[in-house]
């Protein structure tokens, strides 16, 4: 356990809360135990009691967004099974925020200010960010087959994202909960220190379409021999009631890693004490 990195983590968390509060965001404490854990078919949730530990505070925050709070955020532990490695943990800390009357591009300056505040809290240089579309990264020819897409992404593109980079406009089939514009999803990701740090959307505001995406995800999981995730009907109802909005999730542990140079996520958080976790 690295005490210096735990001090750095505390400084980053304080900077995040202070900056968000100064910008008018309201802190929301989401429930951790939920009836439906995720839409994305590749995420594996952790069952608990009569429900699931949330993989993200997204569904709860969208219900708050629909209730009328225009700028909200949560910093909370989230849980994902089958995630282990230097950059992955079963439990990790997520910052998630939402804005009314915004689209995905409006998230960029907000997150950049947060990263700069965290860097200043640690006394390190503020990153200078670049932008590129998915099409540009693929040289103008985005593979239509997902196996080819992900293989080329992992082998040829991901290793090049070393500089702080916003990646914009994913294929429409990778929309998750994002609005779709023509052939692209209004979705972005941020890479910092060679790590995927954040994932954000222009939020889908169409209940029937969201229900269709839940059904498609369930069918895809069943086709892979995985149990479908339960559908959270509350977030479907909420998606019909909030105005044009944008939201983004930021990995707090990875932010600390990127700014301190730590190479293992276990070094920037207190281990739970399971046998496969190092102290």
DSSP state of 156: I
In a domain, 278, yes or no: no
pLDDT confidence of residue 64 = 95
pLDDT confidence of residue 277 = 67
Calculate ∠ Cα 157-158-163, nearest 5°.
Answer: 100
Q: Which residues of the chain have pLDDT under 70?
A: 83, 276-279
Alpha-carbon separation of residue 33 from 22, 52, 89, 162 (angstroms): 30, 6, 18, 36
CATH code (residue 141): 3.30.930.10
In a domain, 179, yes or no: yes
Alpha-carbon separation of residue 134 from 145, 223, 229 (angstroms): 15, 28, 29
In a domain, 128, yes or no: yes
Pairing of strands 26-27, 71-79: parallel
Alpha-carbon separation of residue 32 from 166, 194, 214 (angstroms): 29, 29, 21
Using one digit for the tens of pLDDT, what is the confidence trace for 71-107? 999 999 999 987 677 888 899 999 999 999 999 999 9
pTM of the predicted model as reported, rounded to 2 decimal places: 0.94
Total tally of structural domains belonging to the chain: 1
Pairing of strands 165-171, 184-192: antiparallel
DSSP string across 48-104 = ETTEEE-S-SHHHHHHHHHHT-SEEEEEEEEE-TT--BTTB-SEEEEEEEEEES--G
In a domain, 205, yes or no: yes
pLDDT confidence of residue 42 = 80
In a domain, 18, yes or no: yes
Which structural domain, as residue segments, surrounds residue 245?
A: 3-268
In a domain, 94, yes or no: yes
In a domain, 274, yes or no: no
In a domain, 28, yes or no: yes
């Amino acid at each position: 356990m690295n005490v210096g990195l735990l001090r750095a983590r505390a400084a980053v968390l304080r900077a995040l809360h202070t900056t968000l509060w100064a910008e008018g965001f309201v802190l929301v404490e989401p429930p951790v135990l939920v009836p439906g854990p995720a839409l994305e078919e590749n995420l594996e949730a952790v069952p608990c009691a009569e429900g699931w530990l949330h993989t993200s505070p997204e569904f709860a925050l969208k219900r708050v967004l629909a209730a009328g709070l225009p700028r909200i955020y949560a910093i909370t532990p989230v849980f994902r099974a089958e995630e282990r490695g230097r950059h992955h943990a079963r439990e990790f800390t997520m910052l998630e925020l939402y804005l009314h009357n915004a689209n995905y591009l409006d998230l960029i300056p907000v997150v950049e200010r947060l990263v700069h505040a965290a860097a200043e809290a640690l006394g390190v240089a503020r990153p200078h960010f670049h932008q590129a579309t998915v099409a540009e990264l693929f040289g103008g020819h985005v593979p239509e087959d997902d196996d080819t897409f992900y293989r080329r992404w992992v082998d040829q593109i991901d290793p090049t994202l070393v500089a702080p980079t916003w990646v914009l406009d994913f294929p429409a089939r990778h929309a998750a909960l994002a609005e779709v514009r023509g052939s692209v999803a209004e979705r972005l990701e941020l890479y910092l220190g060679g790590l995927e740090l954040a994932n954000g959307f222009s939020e889908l505001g169409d209940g029937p379409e969201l229900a269709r995406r839940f059904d498609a995800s369930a069918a895809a999981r069943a086709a892979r021999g995985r149990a479908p995730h339960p559908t959270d009907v509350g977030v479907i109802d909420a998606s019909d009631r909030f105005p044009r909005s944008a939201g983004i999730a930021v990995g707090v542990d990875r932010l600390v890693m990127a700014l301190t140079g730590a190479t293992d996520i276990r070094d920037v958080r207190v281990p739970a004490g399971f046998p496969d976790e190092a102290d």
